[in-house]
């Protein structure tokens, strides 16, 4: 029945039903059928109100709507537009300079907003017409934009990492209880942020090295700008433009990493800072504030409805003994921890084609997380590996979410096949990053150990 439950949810999602209501509705249907047939104990459903109350009182999750507000406000302030124009003007004579500017702005947007879809759409609307006008090959332009947009998955303060830290903390405690440790440790958002910081910036560096190499080997694919589209930009004015978002990032991320503020408190500071940046650019008015609040409420409602649906699904799945079956399957594989981890990562990669990161985080990770962590895997390293794995999945044709986001704002003159070709080198870089993390876990664990022991 647990297998049929998974298959039914997959079929309903492929049919186009909303994720949150699919998870909850199909789970309730299976619970009802199982109760009538006498193979499901409805007592499991009595824990659902406690699950809801736990979601409502979870202090970590309070940071999600505030970070969403911060990201949407920065998007409305048109900060990325000004940064991209200034960087493009400053690097106009460098082969591939516009592509490098897109990657820098994408990294800044990722660290400021943490919302993958919004970053991809924003960068697509702002930079793609400019890149095509300067005779960039469409595949190179779209590949760079998709890769830059997905950096919000791994660079803190990422909403993905906040949700993942909450789920991994519960899974880590559960794994320790199973091993007989009745005073278990937990994993904080700050630890996962610290673990993702170095791999995130290494990934940005690898992206930029690829673009520089491509511009050097094939300058016709990424030509330097012959003419300028406006006034010259000085380095001083560019630094002045970047000072605001950089200060905001340092204030938010630094206060979390140093333990000065909780993620929720830091997110509140970030939201106020984003409003100040919008006010400085003359973009803060009643209309902007109303649109930002509405969009933030809409995104937050979607996140928490999926969370509620996933909680109900996990109760029914456990009621049918699905968690025990998964544990028996994974622990019985030949090859031990390595084989188990490879299979879990491959399954998450494939699920990333049809499920968003929120569903995977709250449906899959609670099932496989305790099993992997009970094998002695470092929870911070596992969280970073999952985040980069999902980031790779969102880039991979033909079902990657980032490709759909960009396709929606791309002119018809750019073929879908060009977008697919453009992301392939960046997928290879992502896989290389996963390999580096697998070979040297210290890339993810060094900074958390230095900061928190």
Q: How far apart are CA 48 and CA 66, in angstroms?
A: 26
Rg, C-alpha atoms of the chain: 22
Q: How far apart are CA 197 and CA 156, in angstroms?
A: 7
**Burial degree of 28 (CB within 10 A; 0-12, 13-18, 19+):** middle
Q: Which residues have C-beta within 8 Å of that of residue 289, sequence separation ≥ 6?
A: 275
Report whether pLDDT(261) > 90. no
pLDDT band at residue 232 under the 50/70/90 scheme: low
312-320 average pLDDT score:
87
Q: How far apart are CA 129 and CA 120, in angstroms?
A: 14
Closest CA to 391 of 404, 401, 380, 399: 401
Domain boundaries in the chain? 2-452
* Contact indicator for 365, 406 with CB cutoff of 8 Å: no
Q: How far apart are CA 81 and CA 59, in angstroms?
A: 34
Closest CA to 163 of 315, 346, 383: 383
C-alpha angle 258-119-144 in degrees, rounded to nearest 5: 105
pLDDT of residue 441: 93
Report whether pLDDT(253) > 60. yes
User: Which two structure tokens, joined as six digits, stand for 25?
Assistant: 């509705």
Give backbone dihedrals phi and psi of 81, rounded to 5 degrees, phi first: -60, -50
Closest CA to 434 of 225, 154, 34: 154
Q: How far apart are CA 296 and CA 120, in angstroms?
A: 17
pLDDT band at residue 358 under the 50/70/90 scheme: confident
Q: How far apart are CA 194 and CA 264, in angstroms?
A: 17
pLDDT in tens, 377-393: 999 999 999 999 988 88
pLDDT of residue 118: 65
Closest CA to 426 of 449, 451, 403, 453: 403
pLDDT band at residue 230 under the 50/70/90 scheme: low
User: What per-residue string of b and e applies to 285-302 under the rule 16 or more CB within 10 Å gives b?
Assistant: eeebeeebeebbeebbeb
Report whether pLDDT(225) > 70. no
């Amino acid at each position: 029945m647990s297998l049929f439950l998974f298959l039914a949810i997959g079929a309903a999602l492929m049919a186009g039903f909303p994720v949150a209501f699919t998870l909850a509705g199909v789970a309730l249907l299976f619970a009802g059928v199982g109760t009538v047939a006498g193979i499901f104990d409805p007592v499991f459903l009595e824990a659902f109100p406690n699950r809801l109350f736990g979601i409502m009182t979870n202090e970590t999750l309070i940071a999600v709507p505030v970070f969403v507000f911060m990201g949407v406000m920065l998007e409305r302030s048109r900060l990325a537009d000004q940064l991209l124009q200034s960087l493009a003007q400053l690097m106009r004579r460098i082969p591939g300079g516009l592509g490098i500017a897109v990657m820098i702005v994408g990294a800044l947007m990722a660290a400021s907003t943490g919302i993958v879809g919004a970053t991809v759409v924003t960068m697509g609307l702002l930079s793609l017409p400019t890149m095509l006008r300067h005779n960039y090959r469409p595949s190179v332009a779209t590949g760079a934009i998709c890769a830059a947009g997905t950096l919000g998955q791994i660079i803190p303060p990422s909403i993905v990492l906040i949700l993942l830290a909450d789920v991994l903390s519960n899974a880590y405690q559960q794994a320790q209880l199973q091993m007989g440790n009745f005073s278990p440790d937990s994993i904080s958002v700050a630890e996962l942020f610290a673990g993702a910081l170095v791999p995130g910036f290494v990934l940005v560096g690898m992206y930029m090295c690829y673009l520089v190499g491509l511009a050097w080997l094939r300058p016709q694919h990424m030509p330097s700008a012959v003419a300028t589209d406006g006034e010259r930009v000085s380095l001083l004015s560019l630094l002045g433009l970047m000072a605001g978002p950089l200060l905001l990032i340092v204030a938010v991320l630094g206060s979390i990493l140093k333990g000065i503020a909780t993620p929720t408190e830091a997110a509140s500071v970030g939201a106020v800072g984003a409003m100040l940046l919008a006010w400085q650019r003359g973009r803060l008015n009643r209309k902007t504030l109303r649109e930002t609040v509405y969009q933030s409420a809409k995104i937050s409602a979607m996140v928490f409805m999926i969370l509620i649906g996933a909680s109900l699904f996990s109760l029914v799945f456990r009621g049918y003994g699905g968690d025990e079956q998964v544990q028996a399957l994974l622990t019985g594989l030949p090859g031990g921890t390595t084989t188990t981890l490879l299979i879990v990562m491959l399954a998450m990669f494939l699920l990333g084609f049809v499920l968003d990161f929120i569903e995977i985080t709250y449906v899959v990770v609670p099932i496989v997380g305790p099993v992997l962590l009970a094998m002695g895997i470092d929870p911070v390293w596992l969280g970073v590996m999952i985040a980069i794995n999902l980031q790779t999945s969102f880039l991979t044709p033909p079902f990657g979410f980032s490709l759909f986001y960009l396709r929606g704002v791309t002119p018809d003159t750019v073929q879908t096949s060009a977008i697919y070709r453009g992301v392939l080198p960046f997928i290879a870089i992502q896989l290389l990053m996963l390999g580096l993390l697998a070979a040297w876990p210290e890339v993810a664990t060094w900074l958390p150990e230095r900061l928190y022991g």
